[in-house]
Structure 1
Amino acid sequence: MDFKGKVVLITGASSGIGAATAVKFAKLGAKLVLVARNVENLKATGEKCLKAAGAQGSTTPLLIKTDLSDEKAVPNIITDVSNKFGQLDVLVNNAGIIENGSIENTSLEQFDRIMNMNLRSVYQLTMLAVPELIKTKGNIVNISSVCGLRAFPNVLAYNISKSAIDQFTRCVALELAPKGVRCNAVNPGVVVTNLHKRGGMHDEVYEKFLEHCKVTHALGRAGDVEEVANAICFLASDLATFTTGMNMPVDGGRHAMCPR
């Protein structure tokens, strides 16, 4: 897993899985483009990446503050990458949001907000990045969820968005395979991040939620961001050159669980 000389673009890089993935890529020698809305957290991730890189390289990550749901702003990301590095080798579509809601109470406004961030922005950025990835015979890793593989109540729009990402992954993989570009996805189970709290889950509820993971995940616990980052880097690396169109569960076995 050597990314020296390769340029990796990661969205949602200011926290959680995105930040851990950025640090992992830095350790493996990659030149990084980090995209997020929170500037302070983005800077903190950039500093961690520089420290992690050590002797691997001293290229300062390119930090881009962008709201990916802003259609007019997204093309500037690829422009900035081209101006800074002149190439793009790996696109990691990680940015996403979660909100509670069922068919009885998920408004169209909420549905659109989730779909715009979790799916539409991924479609747009990938579409813009593909010409650059074809040049480098690069690859794409999308961050989906076990919710794309299995049905869970009260996160309806989120489930739909992640199922769509899984199908998007397979379709893009087939379309770009003749051009030497791979496309895969990881499907995390519950991973300890700020995602659920940002989605409205209070501390006490979140702690009970994590405790319940001992029952809902075969390995008896929630996951760690570094465990997902390892899978992302593997799929993006030359160790996975014969792997495309895959939706890889990184979920402690949750996708295989069946209520009894």
Structure 2
Amino acid sequence: VNNAGIIDRGGAETTPLSVLDDLMDVNVKSLIRLTQLAVPYLEKTKGSIVNVSSISGICAFPAVTYYCMSKAAVDKFTECLAQELAPKGIRVNAVNPALIVTSLHRRAYMSEEEYKDFVERGKAGHALGRCGTIEEVAQGILYLARDATFTTGELLKIDGGKSLLVPR
């Protein structure tokens, strides 16, 4: 499971390219490197890879342009790698969660109070009327890693219906 990720806010008009570099280094290049290290083992065991992406790779959101770009790259990497590794018996999939209650946003740019407000407002942006949990994402990862033996190249939305409501 490739689960490295950071987020930063800002649109392309004013956000320095160094922010894009940081996002691509962590969100994309680290997955590539970990995959390169794991493939020889996975080839022997016929294992699988699950990349943790984001609904932001599928849906566009303002003020997180570079983050969306990095997650779109993860999605395309997942699809291309699925084709590349299928002949070796390695399945490659991704989960694309929407707003999940974690420390990601707080670590990046939100105070505790801002985050509480963000989560509260975020509930309305999901068809199910709530944010997701880490456990719900883990269930999707487990399904793709273990049970989905005839599934590869899949981008599994774990988004409470958020992608159904975009654009807002």
Structure 2 equivalent of residue 211 of structure 1: 120
Task: Figure out how many residues of one structure are paired with residues of the other and give that number.
Answer: 168
Structure 2 equivalent of residue 240 of structure 1: 148
How far off is 1:202 after superposition? 1.3
Structure 2 equivalent of residue 157 of structure 1: 66
Structure 1 equivalent of residue 157 of structure 2: 249
How far off is 1:258 after superposition? 3.7
**Which one-letter code corresponds to 1:244 in the other structure?**
T
Structure 2 equivalent of residue 145 of structure 1: 54
1:180 aligns with 2:89: yes
**Which one-letter code corresponds to 2:156 in the other structure?**
M
1:194 aligns with 2:103: yes
| Identity across matched positions, percent | 55
Greater than 2 Å deviation, 4+ residue runs? none
Structure 1 equivalent of residue 12 of structure 2: 103
**Which one-letter code corresponds to 1:257 in the other structure?**
L
Q: TM-score, normalised by structure 1?
A: 0.63
Structure 1 equivalent of residue 79 of structure 2: 170
> Is 2:59–2:166's contact at 8 Å kept on the other side of the alignment?
no
Structure 2 residue matching 1:236: 3-state secondary structure: helix
Structure-2 change in CA distance of 1:169 and 1:210 (3 Å): same
1:222 aligns with 2:143: no
CA RMSD of aligned residues (A): 1.0
**Which one-letter code corresponds to 1:173 in the other structure?**
A
Structure-2 change in CA distance of 1:249 and 1:210 (3 Å): same
Greater relative contact order (CA < 8 Å, ≥ 6 in sequence): 2
Structure 2 residue matching 1:161: 3-state secondary structure: helix
Cα distance in 1 for partners of 2:65, 2:58 equals 13
Q: TM-score, normalised by structure 2?
A: 0.97
- Larger Rg belongs to: 1
Unaligned regions of 5+ residues in structure 2, if any?
A: none
